[in-house]
Amino acid sequence: MLSRTTKDTVLLSVVCLLASITSVFAECTREGLLAATNSYVASFSAGKSDNLKLASSNFTYQNNKAADIRRGVLSQSHPIGLNTSTADTVACASYTMIISFSSGSNSKPYVTATQIRHSVDGDTSIIASIDIIAATTGSLFFNAQKTLGYIQKENWGVIDTVANRPSRELLKKVGDAYLDMWTDAKAADSIPWGTDCERVEGSQYTRPCGGQLPRGGSSKRNGNRRYVIDEVMGSVDVLCSFDALGNMPDSHEIRVEDGKVKYVHTIYGNLKASCTGNKTDTSCSSSMLKE
């Protein structure tokens, strides 16, 4: 039999162990995540990455490929027209959309989708990875000014009433079903479309957004999905390889209000060259990618 003090010691160790496990899985705070997005937006604007606190020196992805932060979009300054961010306190990650313009003859306008990840110990001051989908002149349906015009009019305020916020499960399901529409004929009808929802794909605008939907047809599932889910904003962003139409890097962000899809934003990273303006390639022109 264990003595009383041994039992106490065992109990104390168990309590300490549980406490340390709890702290390892502590959620990141919304404030911390959004502070990191602010420093990212400032870096993007200035074209300087040295103010970002990074876990390692080479942790960036641009359009689904490992990239050197000193050579990617963060190496040039950008006049910013709009920036919005969402926070995922469970995954310890954030999503930021930036619309920017050219600052001179050497630079380009961009619409970028960025997911920033931190280690799950709750420390948002250090950035573990920056994952950027960057659309620019020549990308599918690209027109930064037009995109800005549509998105500026949208309301992305936080959903104040907790009971009205969509669940994490619903948001994940909607994000997945959206990307499954090209391979699963039933996916489109499984999505709760709002009657006056708006879809902005590149600079292409569709309202209501539940019209002209793909219903299967491709055998290649859109893969490499990375999620940022924010119940407070009612949003899910999924970065992926759009394999159904030929491995395009892209981002789909969806906002759900009152249980229904309200907004969809698609940012297409650079498209495979053969698709640009190619109306004979049916894999490019199918369904939502009609030109």
Binding site for ligand NAG (CB under 6 A): 41, 45, 57-58, 66-68, 80, 83, 274, 278, 280-281
* CA separation, residue 168 to residues 29, 138, 223, 228 (Å): 17, 35, 20, 10
CB of 67 to ligand NAG, least distance (A): 6
Partners of 130 in the β-ladder: 60, 116
Report the residue number, 117 or 193, with the smaller CB distance to ligand NAG: 117
CB of 103 to ligand NAG, least distance (A): 13
Cβ-contact 243, 223 below 8 angstroms? yes
CB of 158 to ligand NAG, least distance (A): 13
Report the residue number, 133 or 261, with the smaller CB distance to ligand NAG: 133
CB of 127 to ligand NAG, least distance (A): 15
In angstroms and rounded to an integer, the radius of gyration of the C-alpha atoms of the chain is 21
Give the span between the Cα atoms of 133 and 237, in whole angstroms: 12
- As a 3-state breakdown, the chain gives helix, strand, coil percent values, each rounded to 5, of 30, 30, 40
Report the residue number, 109 or 166, with the smaller CB distance to ligand NAG: 109
Report the residue number, 105 or 280, with the smaller CB distance to ligand NAG: 280
* DSSP assignment of 205-253: EESSTTSS------SS--EEEEEEEETTTTEEEEEEEEGGGS-EEEEEE
Ranked by CB distance to ligand NAG, the top (closest) residue is 281
Report the residue number, 6 or 274, with the smaller CB distance to ligand NAG: 274
Q: Exposure string (b/e) for 243-278, b if CB count within 10 Å is 16 or more?
A: bbbbbbbbbbbbbbbeebbbbbbbbbbbbbeebeee
CB of 279 to ligand NAG, least distance (A): 8
CB of 82 to ligand NAG, least distance (A): 7
Report the residue number, 1 or 66, with the smaller CB distance to ligand NAG: 66
